[in-house]
Amino acid sequence: MAKSMTKSQIAEHMAAKTGLTKKATVQMIEDFAALAYKEAKNIFVVPGIGKLVLANRKARMGRNPQTGEPIKIPAKRVVKFRVAKAAKDAILGKK
């Protein structure tokens, strides 16, 4: 399996594409991430890639895999990422 690109490799690639310095590109990536974290409460959309959304999970009963004993899993809020149709089609190919 191929390794994923590091933040430094992404910054290097984007700097070469845009003509910006690598330092400016890293700052732009960090600012984009900070904006996504801040706005995820309202749904944060990355056009052509997907969106970050907050979801509430209900409390439920689960099972301890080691002992088989039933346990109560409390309700909680989670962050989900929904992949855009355009991204799915580009990565997987159209059906």
**43-95 CATH fold:** HU Protein; Chain A (4.10.520)
* Residue % of the chain over a pLDDT of 90: 88
Residues 18, 32: Cα–Cα separation, whole Å: 16
Residues 58, 74: Cα–Cα separation, whole Å: 7
Report pTM: 0.75
What's residue 1's pLDDT?
A: 63
What's residue 95's pLDDT?
A: 66
Q: Is 17 a residue whose pLDDT tops 80?
A: yes
Instruction: Yes or no: say if 2 and 41 are a contact pair by the CB < 8 Å rule.
Output: no
Q: Is 47 a residue whose pLDDT tops 90?
A: yes
Instruction: Yes or no: say if 48 and 23 are a contact pair by the CB < 8 Å rule.
Output: no
